[in-house]
Structure 1
Amino acid sequence: MRNYLKALKRCTAVGAVALAAFSLQPGGAQAQEPGPGVVGGTRAQQGEFPWMVRLSMGCGGALLTQQIVLTAAHCVDGSGPNTSITATAGVVDLNSSQAIKVKSTRVLQAPGYNGAGKDWALIKLAKPVNLPTLKIADTTAYNNGTFTIAGWGATREGGGQQRSLLKATVPFVDDATCQGAYGDSLTPGDEICAGYMDTGGVDTCQGDSGGPMFRKDDSGAWIQVGIVSWGEGCARPGYPGVYSEVSTFASAIRSAAASL
């Protein structure tokens, strides 16, 4: 049960019963004008992160290819044909008339996912979208420094979903420090942590699940190092955000994408 609870931390809608039981529903999925941040962030500029995707079940994602979205395993319900998800892309403001909306056709959840680690999934879209994609990290070389996070999720625990994309930066937190906060709930090697341990105040939150954590590579291009997964509340001191470690699964992600 502990692992199922943690996997729900940053998702707005996996199942009505589950959300009611754990009191994690962020006040509904209505889009609001942004408050102070993605907790503690600022509004992204149009075109700044063109590969960002909002998913209709209340999660985020990033374009792995122009027809496949990389998101979190806990955002989807198993693998197979699925036409129930709508992906919104190409805009910061979800209400923009320029928004690109495409239905899903198939979902692939990480093989062996059980709520602890392996928190990645792929969603195939009905047609390609003509937008840039976000490359994924193949090695741990970029699992350090400062990362960017972005999403349309809540700006505080229990808050509503946002109409506009918000962004923030968070520093890497090493596994030993993160395990000090979360103990055996953390799966080292599968997960990477980031946040301000002493002060809190900046973090992803409910509704940001599945979105990317990213930084610049040595050539100055954006590269995805994490997938928003879970955390104890949002932006609490002593409890960093926990992200699926992309480099661990890069080969599996690419193989899965080729099979869709």
Structure 2
Amino acid sequence: MGSAPSLGILNGTACSTGASAVVLLNMRDKDGSGLGACSGTLLTQRAILTAAHCVDGDVRSVSVYLGSGLPIIAESFVAHPAYRSSGGSTADAAIIIMAEPIGRTPIPLLLGRDARVGETAIVSGWGRTQDAVTATLHAGSTTISAVGGTLLETQYSANVSSVCSGDSGGSILVSEGGAWTIAGITSATSANVCNTGTNYYVGIRNSSVSSFILGIVPDAARR
């Protein structure tokens, strides 16, 4: 989707990683060569939500970095079967499965209602900032500008936070019942540079996406 297939947070704030449910994912091919980095969000102690384009193509292994210690090699990963890398896809969702519990508090899925235009949201990820700082967890607030049947959108502005390279697969969060919940998966931007244009997120309420997630992670928390 869009022209930036590997979406850090612009205008955001560096976060403590000690208990964060947002993790860094590093992809490698069969020879162990690096294929880029994405972000992901814990759904359960052993399941991480990310974007399908992060594990597409020649990816054969995924390692998970929690902010300290050594990366942990994932047991397996699966992309939404309807995902297509060309021409854009509203099925840009994937699940990373870990062999052992990670020991962080997961974030619930927002399934009880749609996200709302004008609603304040949080974006977070391990990608670039406007200063090109990478592999540091940042988060910041933005406003949802459009809600469709399959996608959510936010607009870049100097007054709000925005996603950039390395944030793909992270989540856009909205508040529900006093808790932050996952409303969408960071998928793409409309421009090759981060400080302009529209950001796109695959909506969790899309029935195809929610069915895929719950089919693999039936014990994922939801609101």
TM range, smaller chain: 0.7 to 0.9
Q: Answer yes or no: is 1:205 the counterpart of 2:200.
A: no
Instruction: Indicate the residue corresponding to 2:34 in structure 1.
Output: none
The 1-side partners of 2:155 and 2:95 are apart by 26
The 1-side partners of 2:82 and 2:62 are apart by 22
Structure 1 residues 103, 112: closer, same or farther in 2, change over 3 A? Answer: same
Instruction: Indicate the residue corresponding to 1:75 in structure 2.
Output: 54
Instruction: Indicate the residue corresponding to 2:214 in structure 1.
Output: 254
Does the CA-based 8 Å contact 2:171-2:186 persist in structure 1?
yes
Shift of 1:142: 3.5
The 2-side partners of 1:116 and 1:140 are apart by 23
The one-letter amino acid of 2:49's match is: L
Q: Which has the higher strand share?
A: 2
Does the CA-based 8 Å contact 1:201-1:235 persist in structure 2?
no
The 1-side partners of 2:10 and 2:199 are apart by 11
What is the correspondence of 1:23-172 to structure 2 with a 5 Å cutoff?
A: 38-47=9-18, 50-57=20-27, 58-77=37-56, 84-89=61-66, 91=67, 96=68, 99=69, 101-114=71-84, 115-144=88-117, 145-156=119-130, 160=132, 162-172=134-144
5+ long unaligned stretches in structure 1: 13-36, 176-187
Pick aligned residue for 2:189 from 227, 231, 249: 231
Instruction: Indicate the residue corresponding to 1:9 in structure 2.
Output: 4
5+ long unaligned stretches in structure 2: 28-36
Shift of 1:41: 1.1
Find runs of 4+ consecutive structure 1 residues off by over 6 angstroms. Answer: none
Instruction: Indicate the residue corresponding to 1:178 in structure 2.
Output: none
User: Cα deviations across residues 78-117 of structure 1 (Å, max 9, x unaligned)?
Assistant: 79xx86211112x3xxxx3xx3632112111012111321
Query: What's the RMSD between the two structures over aligned residues?
Result: 2.6
The 1-side partners of 2:115 and 2:53 are apart by 25
Shift of 1:77: 2.1
The 1-side partners of 2:52 and 2:17 are apart by 28
The 2-side partners of 1:200 and 1:206 are apart by 19
The 2-side partners of 1:143 and 1:51 are apart by 24
Structure of greater Rg: 1
Structure 1 residues 252, 107: closer, same or farther in 2, change over 3 A? Answer: same
Shift of 1:46: 4.3
The 2-side partners of 1:100 and 1:126 are apart by 15
User: Cα deviations across residues 7-44 of structure 1 (Å, max 9, x unaligned)?
Assistant: x61517xxxxxxxxxxxxxxxxxxxxxxxx72111112
The 2-side partners of 1:45 and 1:240 are apart by 28
The 1-side partners of 2:134 and 2:78 are apart by 27
The 1-side partners of 2:79 and 2:164 are apart by 22
The 2-side partners of 1:196 and 1:170 are apart by 9
Pick aligned residue for 1:192 from 152, 166, 185: 152
The 1-side partners of 2:81 and 2:60 are apart by 20
